[in-house]
Amino acid sequence: MNKITLFFCLISLSMSAQQDNPKDAFLEKWQNSKAYLIEIAQAMPEESYTFKPTKRQMDFGSQLLHIRGNMLWLGNTYFTDNNFDRSILANNIPQGKEAIIKALEESFDAVYAFAKACPEASLSKEVSFFAGPKSRYQILNLLQDHVTHHRGQLIVYLNLNDIEVPKYVGW
C-alpha cells in the first residue's frame, strides 16, 4: 500500500470513528451550530435587533435570548446538579448586540461543557421531562433542534432586511 492510500485509509477510519460515538457527533455539531448562529447574530446590524416581522413574533435580539435561555435551562436542569431557576433569565437581561452575542456564546460553551462532562453511559439514562420521560440523548437532540428552529426564523429576519445570510455551516 502506498503512502497516499494509507493516508486516506487513516483519515476515513478517523472520520467513521467519530460518527460511531453519538456524544462526539453532538459535540462537533454543537460547535458548528454555535459558529453559524454567531455569524447570523453578527450579520444583523445592532439597530435591527429590535426588528420583528409581525407583532406576534419576537424581535431578533429576543429570539437570540430565547435560544440562550433554553440552553441554560435544559443544560443545567438535565446535565448538572444545579437547581436552575428559570426566573433568573428575566433578571440582568443582556442589552445590546455585543452583550447578547457574548451571552449566547457563553451558553453554547456551558452546554458543550455539560455534555462533554456527562459520562457516555449516563446519556441513555431517562430523566423526568414535562413531555414524559426522555433520555439525555433526547435532551441533546432537543437542544440542537431548538437552536435550528429559531435560527431558521432568524435567517428569514435577515432576508427581510435584505442582509446576506452567512453561508451554512453543517457538520
Distance between CA atoms of residues 112 and 107, nearest Å: 9
What percentage of the chain carries pLDDT values higher than 70? 87
- On the question of pLDDT at 13 being above 80, the answer is no
Domain that holds residue 40: 22-160
Q: Which ranges of 20-135 does DSSP label H, i.e. alpha helix?
A: 22-43, 60-79, 97-117
Q: What integer is the mean pLDDT of 67-84?
A: 90
Q: What is the pLDDT of residue 72?
A: 93
Q: What integer is the mean pLDDT of 98-116?
A: 96
Give strand pairing partners of 127.
134
Average pLDDT of the chain is 87
What are 21-75's pLDDT values in tens digits?
889 999 999 999 999 999 999 999 999 999 999 999 999 999 999 999 999 999 9
Task: Determine, yes or no, domain membership for 9.
Answer: no
CATH number of domain containing 139: 1.20.120.450
Q: What is the pLDDT of residue 71?
A: 95
* pLDDT level of residue 5 (50, 70, 90 thresholds): very low
Element (H, E) at 127: strand 126-127
Task: Determine, yes or no, domain membership for 168.
Answer: no
Task: Determine, yes or no, domain membership for 167.
Answer: no
Task: Determine, yes or no, domain membership for 15.
Answer: no
Decide: residue 68, CB within 10 A, 0-12 exposed, 13-18 middle, 19+ buried.
Answer: buried
Task: Determine, yes or no, domain membership for 10.
Answer: no
Domain total in the chain: 1
